[in-house]
Amino acid sequence: MTQPLEPKESYGQILKSTSIIGGSSVIVILLRIIQAKVTAVLLGPAGVGLIGIYGSVTGLISQISGMGIVNSGVRQIAEARGSSDKIKIERTIYTLRRTAIFLGIIGMLVLLIFRDPICQITFGNTDHAGALGVLSLIIFITSVSGGQTALIQGMRRVGDLARLRIFGALFGVLFSIPLVYFFGERGIVPYLVMVSAMGILTSWWYARKILVSQIRVPLRDMISEAQALLRLGLAFMSSGLMNMGAMYLIRVIVVRKLGLDAVGLLQASTAISTVYVGFILSAMSADFYPRLTSVANDNSVCNRIVNEQAEVSLLLAIPGILATLTFAPYVIQIFYSSKFTPAMDILRWSILGILLRVASWPMAFVLLAKGKGEIYVFTEGLFSLVYLGLVILLIHFFELQGVGMAIFGSYVFYWILLFSVIKKISGFSFSTANLRLYALIVPSAALVFLSIYFLPGIWATATGSMITIAVGFYCLRVLSKVVGADKMRKVFSRFKSIIHL
């Protein structure tokens, strides 16, 4: 059985895994900047919007056909690893890989066969039905790649996950951008397929390094094992389906009400708002979730490491979020172009919502680690309904900016909901350190946000810059205190080595 770490060691483990994923994210972010910039210049808001809608369709079908087995596979492998059950690990891996292939084929066929009605629902015509047919390949690729990545994640090979992200992004850029450059909008479909193909190649390369016995599981036993994956997987699938369904419906609402250019602006703001904190959220999925699963039956240890993860995540996230709020117009031009400047107001509301997402996720993982699938579905479903409802309401009064307001409002609701649920399940309460951190974050973010609307441009930028610098130094000092100066130096050395990979 995996033994829980002492507090300082636990903080060090959190920062170590986050720094490894963070180091890879620096490279991934730079590659995404290049990719976003080129596609924005070549295709404009309408082209970026088309990419977003295609992504919503394939993501929705992938969520349904995947049945959540990738996430449940991570949990099963992590649980078996925590108890040193080698046979269980091998059986889960064998079943997961074959089930992922089977479900990928089913999902691909669904989109291929029903491409015409799906296109009619999405665009109001069938002009893009042929493109959706080709994009059905992504469903199969995503499923197989997800099975391989689940193996790496469940075994907590954080370094391999980091390298997988780097090379997947690098190959995606190298092979996809030329397609858009030479073929314009006609290159979008092969571009998306190529990005997915690079993902499956890199995930296979690192998954093959995990040495497991080549066992053969009888069909009857494999079906039984698959049922165990599917029981929890259905919870993941249901919640993911509701989230992806809400995203899909919101894009349909925007394209019908405001046009394809507006979807492009929404896509741009969504990408930018998550690009900085992406490494923190990825680290939670990559290392925190498997680690929490191994101690999920001990409420006191579980609650302690949730508080530790929340504290480290917020300390890392808040300086970048404040900087994004302050320099939103420049960030948009760096990532995209001046044509995307109207996305500025959506971005500022969205980034506030993302801050609450960082604060909420450690609590959400408690439900997954404890196998509370029904409650997880309930919380995610309520969040999706509130998000969709706020979009429908606010887009009527504030047009596209209302979507950003809806993101913020829905995450306020989500944070309150999760805290109430987790408190009831495990007796969770925030540590003194986290309460102190909230007392800093809330007024700091509010001051930066409000200064943008009530102060002249140069004074708003100056105010936001000073607050960002001051909060950044405070966060660094607290991190050094909880982790230790020596470990901080080791972490940043590892961070640099990943960057120079």
Q: How does DSSP assign 325-379, residue by residue?
A: HHTHHHHHHHHS-GGGGGGHHHHHHHHHHHHHHHHHHHHHHHHHHTT-HHHHHHH
Least confident range from 1-15, 118-132, 470-484: namely 1-15
Count how many residues are written for the chain. Answer: 501
Summarize the confidence of residues 388-409 as an average pLDDT: 91
Contact between residue 343 and residue 266 where contact means Cβ atoms under 8 Å apart: yes
Burial of 424 (0-12, 13-18, 19+ CB in 10 A): exposed
pLDDT value, residue 72: 75
In angstroms, the CA 154 to CA 67 distance is 18
Summarize the confidence of residues 241-264 as an average pLDDT: 83
pLDDT value, residue 82: 64
**The two structure tokens encoding residue 151:** 């193996």
Span between the terminal Cα atoms of the chain, in Å: 34
- Per residue in 170-197, pLDDT (tens digit) is 877 787 778 888 888 888 888 888 888 8
Contact between residue 266 and residue 346 where contact means Cβ atoms under 8 Å apart: yes
Burial of 457 (0-12, 13-18, 19+ CB in 10 A): exposed
pLDDT value, residue 262: 86
Q: Residues 6 or more apart from 435 whose CB is under 8 A from it?
A: none
Greater confidence, 277 or 111? 111
**The two structure tokens encoding residue 48:** 């970026």
Rama region for 294: left / alpha / beta (φ>0; ψ in -120 to 50; rest): alpha
pLDDT value, residue 394: 93
pLDDT value, residue 264: 83
Q: Is the pLDDT of residue 428 over 80?
A: yes
Tell me the pLDDT band of 221, cut-offs 50, 70 and 90.
low
Nearest to 286 by CA among 94, 147, 155, 90: 155
In angstroms, the CA 125 to CA 89 distance is 47
Least confident range from 25-34, 112-121, 398-407: namely 25-34
In angstroms, the CA 363 to CA 423 distance is 9
Q: Is the pLDDT of residue 4 over 60?
A: no
Tell me the pLDDT band of 499, cut-offs 50, 70 and 90.
very low
pLDDT value, residue 487: 57
Cβ count near 55 (within 10 Å): 18
Greater confidence, 456 or 293? 456
Least confident range from 20-29, 47-56, 487-496: namely 487-496
In angstroms, the CA 69 to CA 408 distance is 30
Query: For all residues of the chain together, what is the average pLDDT?
Result: 80
In angstroms, the CA 401 to CA 343 distance is 8
In angstroms, the CA 383 to CA 39 distance is 32
- Could you tell me what percentage of the chain is helix, strand and coil, using 3-state DSSP and rounding each to the nearest 5? 90, 0, 10
pLDDT value, residue 61: 87
Q: Is the pLDDT of residue 481 over 70?
A: yes
CA distances from 345 to 233, 306, 387 (A): 37, 32, 18
Q: Is the pLDDT of residue 238 over 60?
A: yes
Residue whose entry in the numeric block shows the structure tokens 């493109």: 131
